[in-house]
Amino acid sequence: MRINETFLSLQGEGRFTGMPAFFLRLSGCNLQCPFCDTQHQSYTEKSEEDLVAEALRHKPRHIIITGGEPALQLTQTFIDKLHGAGFFVHVETNGTRPLPEGIDWVTCSPKPPHPIKDGLRIDELKVLYTGKDFSLPDYLAPYIAEAEVQLYLQPLDTGNQEQNRAILLGAIAYVMEHPEWKLSLQTHKMIGIK
């Protein structure tokens, strides 16, 4: 597998905020979003067995597979090996490609105008709030209507404090008007960890 980086940290966003986890960032993405805050193009080749062994050297049994776009590389055998080693497998995806079966938690952060792959199981929908012209794409309606899907609105980090403050206030106002949504903040950035 093409691995950008592995690290131990706290989950900074969404449902599992504050939970210790082993992060596995895969290299490459099928989308090239101009606002992406992750440098994920460089990589080192590692085998599935080596990755499981590396993850086992740490206490958390929650593994978060992110990218780039994990669906470009994830295999059923790797998911099965992680489960066999006792891991809770959490994948963060843009939702444009199918995922292997049996993933314990799927966080989908869609990137309009790219639709979500038909049939993709989503546990957590994390939508980026981009500013005053924000609107939800129509293709999200079926997921928003599902009672089981947890809905998070996350302010876009532009790298500019003034813009970020305006975006944050807009996201808060949106959530207050649409209480089915929760605000997701990038707490790892706030506290200065990876």
29 part of the active site:
yes
Strands (E), the chain: 2-10, 20-26, 44-45, 62-66, 88-93, 105-108, 124-129, 150-155, 182-183
108 part of the active site:
no
d(CA 24, CA 179): 32
Tell which residue, 139, 148, 117, has the closest CA to residue 31.
117
Q: Which of 7, 35, 36, 180 is catalytic?
A: 36
92 part of the active site:
yes
Q: Which of 7, 35, 38, 75 is catalytic?
A: 38
d(CA 99, CA 43): 21
Report how far apart, in Å, the C-alpha atoms of 93 and of each of 98, 167, 174, 186 are: 10, 23, 24, 17
Tokens of 193: 């960890």
Q: What is the DSSP letter of 165?
A: H
Q: Which of 13, 16, 22, 29 is catalytic?
A: 29
Q: Which of 33, 75, 77, 146 is catalytic?
A: 33
d(CA 148, CA 17): 18
36 part of the active site:
yes
Q: Which of 58, 62, 83, 188 is catalytic?
A: 188
Q: Dihedral, CA atoms, 110, 114, 115, 121, nearest 10 degrees? A: -40
Q: Which of 92, 93, 96, 107 is catalytic?
A: 92
**Which residues does the annotation mark as catalytic?**
23, 29, 33, 36-38, 92, 188
